Amino acid sequence: MYIPHTDIERQQMLDVIGVKTLEELFRDVPEEYRNPNLNLPVGQSEMEVLDQMRLLAEANNSTDDLISFLGAGAYDHFVPSAVDMLLKRGDFFSAYTPYQPEISQGTLQAIFEYQTLISNLTGMEISNASHYDGATAAAETAITAYYHFKKKRKTVVVSPFIHPDYIQVLRTYLQAIEDIQILIPDVNSPDEFLDVTPNYLNDDTALLLFQYPDFLGNLYDYTTLIEQLHQAGGLAASIVYPQVLGIMKSPAAMDADFIVGEAQSLGLPLNFGGPYIGFFTTKKEFIRKISGRIVGETIDADNKRGYVLTLTAREQHIRREKATSNICTNQGLNALAVAIYLSLLGKTGMNDVSTICYQKAHYLATQISSLKGFSIVNKAPFFNEFVIECPLDAADVNKRMAGIGILAGFDLSQFDVNRKNQLLIAVTEKSTRESMDYYVNALQEVLNA
Amino acid sequence: METLGDRKYAKTDEWVKVEGKNGRIGISDYAQDQLSDIVFIEFLKEPGEQVNQGEIFATIESVKAAADVNSPISGTVKEINESLMDTPELLNSNPFDKAWMGVIELNDEKELESLMDAGEYDSFCESR
Amino acid sequence: MPESTIYEISSPGRMGFKFPNLDVDSTELPESFLRDDLPLPELSELDVVRHFTNLSRLNYSIDSGFYPLGSCTMKYNPRINEVTSRLSGFCNTHPLQPIETVQGNLLLMYLLQEWLMEITGFDAATLQPAAGAHGELVGGLIIYAYHKLNKDIKRTKILIPDSAHGTNPATSNMSGFEIVSIPTDSRGNLDLDALKGLCDETVAGLMLTNPNTLGLFEEQVVQVNKIVHDAGGLVYGDGANLNALLGIVKPHDLGFDIMHINLHKTFSTPHGGGGPGSGPVVVADFLKDFLPGPIVEIIEEANDELPPLYGLVTPKHSIGRMKAFHGHFGIIVRALTYMMIQGKDGLRSVSEHAVLNANYLMARLKDTYTLPYDRICMHEFVLEGVWEDIPDVHALDIAKRLIDYGFHPPTNYFPLNVHEALMIEPTETENKDTLDRFTEVMLKIAGEAKVTPELLREAPHHAPVKRLDEVKAARELVLCCWTPNPENE
């Protein structure tokens, strides 16, 4: 399929090349390995493939079939119709990286606007064109800090209350840089984090990485901690769930140096975990130290405004082994989706969606806490994700709830073995009062059973 | 392409001009031409620090390339030309004069013997 | 007309989206956490749709024209991929759902793993890496972890050809290795003698692209890989150029131990203006325990009543997780759709015609442009974009002039070991008429270069913008658009 050559054309082309058969074009391939048998099916038509793909899709239970209160790093927000319709434009999705800026102004300006929107949302001075996801963006803050201090500061202090996948990715990324150590403060509960962590900060601290809200949903003011960190000479990186920034203040106001995170919740469907998009914002002073593509404004030969990829001397194709990162891509189409989402919702819409998420989550939390045997664990304020303590194993609760069509939440024993009875629940604007009341009744039944 | 006779040159395209006990260093005309429009310079050594012959003194970026500036001599850094950070384009227009990069108190004058004079450097550039 | 920015067309009070009214009682928000202002634009839905529609029209894309960007494989992006990837049963699944509820997804991923292994001849696969460079990092880290486990700490070097893509040395640096460059010989192959001289017990591995970045099949690839193996090193294959080899040869048979694959190149998933891609990694059996997790495996075999149960497993000596969750599932769906449409016969035909198209263009252009390596090429070839007797015209100028004729330029200035390189990769989805038209234009431009070179040097003349001042962009950094100041409202 998709190969347009006719027999006549093929023959004409072979004649011009000066060979008799297609086979001759592969004479450099060692004969003993050439033309292997591929134990694979033969090609099929669109109709047949569509049927098979539909069968696979129907073999799942999606959020069409289940009521979901699962969060833990991926959130079921509503994606406005206009977002996907614009992404389907072939001039966006079938274009390449804008290396020829004169014919890529659409892509370049869209990324430039994405950079602006994300900077304004986070309150930071600049943004790059994005990383693969929130976890890799977080890992890149550690690498950036390490090289910023010219390898003289070798400790990365990491909050134990960030998403567990993010800590794993950080370990993967740093494993071959043998003089870096990852230090996780010994803290018993999130409420103690602000008090205990300063003891771990010293003149070897390159970076402190924490999350807002933290993995268990808690909101804290990190201003004092960041002050102490800066006094010790290190840099602060905060992972942020972007929806929270619709109503809550950003760690930029607490003087964070980097704000990164997962922007899936800004216009991308759940998609079983990817592709997502990691946003990366920072202060102007670090602009030459960060990795990833960056779009800048300039003028053309006629003095007309235009956009180009800039500061490319940082990147792998120029620095090669001296590049601090090998990243060669940005999540292009996904950055466009985020730009469209933020433009559509705008000032009012982002405020609305955040407020709605907050209020619905607090409604559900209140209803659950009125059930005998269940309680809310969070002592700090929370946004749209919170932890409940159950009278039985969270795994058990999940299983029973799944049986009646509800994804009850994230089983926190997978995060900390001491939290076997705890469930992390996320609420978005898609949860209705009905579905939340249904959830509460279901919990009641689980208890009675 | 310009090469001045009053200084010595390293294979990595830096020059050093002896001024009494010190050596003033910079990049050659050939180097700035290869890099084309220079947009940024970062000094990796500060006054008071030691630098060894061949050690990276600064990095320069143009739109198309990034290059290390290696010190052609060892010694103590006395001065760095911080004004280059605001006007890196001087490195293109005035590599031998206004765009000097640093002044280093020489540790060992014998090191100069390992560098090329103007004629040798010219021949070297032609062969590239 | 330059397009205004999203903030320039914003107007206070406009709204583009409405949520349902709150159906629960409100509770007080925590005062100390509230933000003061939210500097986002205010637009109607039409404003937004019109703005981004107009932006899209400033782009050149595969849908609008020929895109012979060497090493990028700009083949047609089939529409059926966009349909299957949007099936609700795929899009609306959460990565942390119980595995019993996502058997469709897991089977799909398992199938892609199987297809990739069969095509390449390897024994295990991971779909986690988010892009080619990400897959390369997996390769680098597996080499690191393998030698570390064997306590082979002397191995500090990775050998890389001088024609390699910049990600190769960058990846090696991130994997903790020193890089040693190997020259290319006069036939465009890796210099075998240079390689022999460098292979000792300090070599951790070789990163090799085959066909290489010159578009040439490494004639001594089997020997090259053997030399590295004999010295105790591993061979990592950069799979960017796999489009030439589908059904023609299995890279594992040639001696590669690890390889990454670019789904967005070889397997037709969209480039999206710079992403998202997907970079699965395939490995030989002895390395399967090092793969980043989780990967999809059958965790309970089928029996008379039930199909197999698919689950997510982390290998024993895994180098660790490469990103949150499982991988770029949306891209994986598109790639498997493409493979099922092509089948084993279609995939072979892809490579045959990719190589046919490249050789046809090469044959027609080599008398007018300097061809540094005059051999049968694979799916791409490199020309020099400069003539000795016209010193003022460079590859960049030829590239910009092509834009005036409605073509996207080939890759410029890569690989680095060809002077003023123009790397041309037509792909198999282009027909002969397009190739002929491209040839005519290339010949015409060569003529213009002699007679009216300023047409090239000042090109493009017919694009939405003229040549852009990249120096100004780097010197005077403007990375955000003007945002209205809330104090002024």
Tens digits of per-residue pLDDT, C433-445?
999 999 999 999 9
Residues C334 and C377 placed together within one structural domain of the fold: no
Q: Look at residue C326 and tell me if it is in a domain.
A: yes
pTM of this structure: 0.95
Going from the N-terminus, what domains does chain A have, and what CATH number goes with each? 7-47 (no CATH), 67-78+349-448 (3.90.1150.10), 81-342 (3.40.640.10)
C residues 441..480 contacting B (CB < 8 A) = 470-471, 474-475
A291 neighbourhood in chain B, CB within 8 Å? none
Number of domains in chain B: 1
**A269-283, C273-287, C466-480: range with lowest mean pLDDT:** C466-480
Kindly give the parts of chain B with pLDDT less than 50.
Answer: none
What are the φ/ψ torsions at residue C424 (nearest 5 degrees)?
Answer: -115, 120
**Which chain A positions have a beta carbon within 8 Å of B62's beta carbon?**
313
The answer to whether A211 and A187 are in contact (CB under 8 A) is no
Inter-chain CB proximity B66 and A322 less than 8 Å: yes
Q: Do A312 and B42 touch (CB under 8 A)?
A: no
More confident residue, A188 or A203: A203
Phi/psi at A432 (5° precision): -100, 165
Contacts 24+ apart (CB under 8 A), B68-72: B68/B12, B69/B14, B69/B27, B69/B101, B70/B10, B70/B12, B70/B14, B71/B14, B71/B25, B71/B45, B71/B102, B71/B104, B72/B8, B72/B9, B72/B10, B72/B12, B72/B14, B72/B15, B72/B16, B72/B23, B72/B25, B72/B111, B72/B115
Domain region containing B94: 8-126
Percentage of residues of chain C with pLDDT beyond 90: 90
**CB-CB under 8 Å, C483 with A93:** no
Rounded Cα distance between A220 and A210, Å, is 11
Last residue of a domain, one of C340, C367, C392: C340
pLDDT beyond 90 at C1? no
Q: Hey, is the C-beta of A288 within 8 angstroms of any chain C C-beta?
A: no
Mutate which of B45, B63, B68, B69 to test chain A, going by most A C-beta atoms within 10 A? B63
Residues C259, C294: one domain?
yes
Mean pLDDT in chain A?
Answer: 95
Against chain A, the chains showing at least 3 CB pairs within 8 Å are B, C
Residues C360 and C434 in one domain: yes
Closest by Cα among C420, C249, C434 to C360: C434
8 Å CB contact of B40 and A313: yes
Name every chain A residue with its beta carbon within 8 A of the beta carbon of C35: 123, 245, 247-250, 253
DSSP character for C311? E
Give the span between the Cα atoms of A142 and A174, in whole angstroms: 9
| C52-106 tens-digit pLDDT | 999 999 999 999 999 999 999 999 999 999 999 999 999 999 999 999 999 999 9
User: Given an 8 Å threshold on Cβ–Cβ distance, is C96 in contact with A74?
Assistant: yes
Give the domain range for residue C211. 79-340
More confident residue, C165 or A154: A154
Q: Tell me the pLDDT band of A75, cut-offs 50, 70 and 90.
A: very high
Average pLDDT value over all residues in chain C: 94
Q: Report whether A238 contacts A256 (CB < 8 A).
A: yes
Secondary structure of residue B112 in the 3-state scheme: helix
Q: If we measure between CA atoms, which residue out of A115, A75, A88, A131 comes closest to residue A264?
A: A75
Tell me what the mean pLDDT of segment A286-297 comes to: 90
Of A326 and A245, the one with more pLDDT:
A245
pLDDT, tens digit (0-9, with 9 covering 90-100), for A409-423: 999 999 999 999 999
Q: Which of A51, A179, A271 to mutate to test the interface with C (most CBs of C within 10 A)?
A: A271
Residues C277 and C368 in one domain: no
Domain-located, residue B1:
no
Max Cα–Cα distance, chain A, nearest Å: 84
- C417 shares a domain with C383: yes
Q: Provide the pLDDT for residue C148.
A: 94
Helix H or strand E encompassing C149: helix C132-149
Q: Residue C34 gets which letter from DSSP?
A: B
Task: Work out the pLDDT band at C489, boundaries 50, 70, 90.
Answer: very low
CATH number of residue B51's parent domain: 2.40.50.100
Assigned domain for B2 exists:
no
Q: Residue B66's beta-bridge partner residues?
A: B61
Q: Which residue has the tokens 């607090």?
A: A362
Q: Concatenated DSSP letters for C327-368?
A: --HHHHHHHHHHHHHHHHHHHHHHHHHHHHHHHHHHHHHTTT
Cβ contact C287:C171 at 8 Å:
no
Least confidently predicted of C254-258, C307-311, C467-471: C467-471
Whether A317 shows a pLDDT value over 80: the answer reads: no
Q: Are residues C138 and C237 in the same domain?
A: yes
Do C164 and C245 belong to one domain? yes
Residue from C412, C416, C469, C475 to probe the interface with B (highest B Cβ count within 10 Å): C475
Within this chain, do residues C83 and C111 fall inside the same structural domain, yes or no?
A: yes
Bridge-based pairing of strands C258-261 and C281-283 is: antiparallel
Is residue C487 scored above 60 in pLDDT?
Answer: no
Q: Per the domain annotation, does C67 fall within a domain?
A: no
DSSP-derived secondary structure letter, C458: T
Structure tokens at A300: 């053309």
* Structural domain includes residue B51: yes
Q: C134 and C190 share a domain?
A: yes
Query: What's the CATH number where C112 sits?
Result: 3.40.640.10
What is the 3 state secondary structure string of chain A? CCCCCCHHHHHHHHHHHCCCCHHHHHCCCCHHHCCCCCCCCECCCHHHHHHHHHHHHHCECCCCCCEECCCCCCCCCCCCHHHHHHHCCHHHHCCCCCCCHHHEHHHHHHHHHHHHHHHHHHCCCEECCCECCHHHHHHHHHHHHHHHCCCCCCEEEECCCCCHHHHHHHHHHHCCCCCCEEECCCCCCHHHHHHHHHHHCCCCEEEEEEEECCCCCECCCCHHHHHHHHHCCCEEEEEECHHHHHCECCHHHHCCCEEEEECCCCCCCCHHHCCCCEEEEECHHHCCCCCCCCEEEEEECCCCEEEEECCHHHCHHHHHHHCCCCCCCCCHHHHHHHHHHHHHHHHHHHHHHHHHHHHHHHHHHHHHHCCCCCEECCCCCECCEEEEECCCCHHHHHHHHHHCCEECCEEHHHCCHHHCCEEEEECCCCCCHHHHHHHHHHHHHHHHC
One domain for residues C335 and C362: no
Residue C363 and residue C297 share a domain: no
Range 115-154 of A in CB contact (< 8 A) with C: 115-117, 119-121, 123, 125-127, 129-130, 132-136
Q: Distance, in angstroms, between A298 CA and closest chain B CA? A: 13
CB contact burial A249-274 (16+ within 10 A = b; e otherwise): bbbbebebbbbbbbbbbbbbbbbbbb
Report yes or no on C245 lying in a domain. yes
Rounded Cα gap, residues A293 and A290, in angstroms? 9
- State whether residue B1 sits within 8 Å of chain A by CB: no
The SS3 call for residue B30 is helix
- Complex confidence, ipTM: 0.96
Contact flag B40-A312 (C-beta cutoff 8 Å):
no
Q: How far apart are CA A448 and CA B20, in angstroms?
A: 93
Of A365 and C412, more confident: A365
Q: Please check the confidence at residue C307 and state whether its pLDDT lies above 60.
A: yes
Q: How far apart are CA A151 and CA A290, in angstroms?
A: 15
Q: List the single residue in C with minimal CA-CA distance to A307.
A: C468
Q: Please tell me which residue, C389 or A361, carries the higher pLDDT value.
A: A361
Residue range A161-195, pLDDT digits in tens: 999 999 999 999 999 898 999 999 999 899 999 99
CA distances from C135 to A266, C171, C280, C282, C414 (A): 26, 10, 6, 9, 21
Task: Indicate the residue of A18, A50, A360 with minimum beta-carbon distance to C80.
Answer: A50
For residue A167, what are the CA distances in angstroms to A239, A260, C189, C228? 12, 14, 42, 35
Q: Is residue C164 part of a domain?
A: yes
Among the candidates C340, C369, C384, a domain finishes at C340
Chain B residue numbers touching A150 (CB-CB < 8 A): 44
- pLDDT, tens digit, for every residue of A81-133? 999 999 999 999 999 999 899 999 999 999 999 999 999 999 999 999 999 99
Q: Which residues of A touch C7 (CB under 8 A)?
A: 116
Amino acid (one-letter) located at B122:
D
Q: Are residues C170 and C277 in the same domain?
A: yes
Average pLDDT of the residues in C113-125 = 98
Which of C328, C320, C422 is CA-nearest to residue C372? Answer: C422
Instruction: State yes or no: pLDDT of C422 exceeds 60.
Output: yes
**pLDDT category of residue C110 using cuts at 50, 70 and 90:** very high
Residue A283 half-sphere exposure toward CB, CA atoms < 13 A: 13
A308, A108 in Cβ contact below 8 A?
A: yes
| φ, ψ (nearest 5 deg) of residue C235 | -115, 120
Between A332-369 and A105-122, two packed helices, what is the crossing angle to 10 degrees?
30
Chain C residues with beta carbon closer than 8 angstroms to that of B37: 471
Domain tally for chain C?
A: 2
Is the pLDDT reported for residue A323 higher than 80? no
- Answer with the one of C340, C366, C385 that is the final residue of a domain: C340
Task: Report the alpha-carbon angle A298-A300-A304, nearest 5.
Answer: 85
CATH number of the domain within which C419 lies: 3.90.1150.10
Residue C483: per-residue pLDDT: 78
Q: Bridge partners of C296?
A: C312
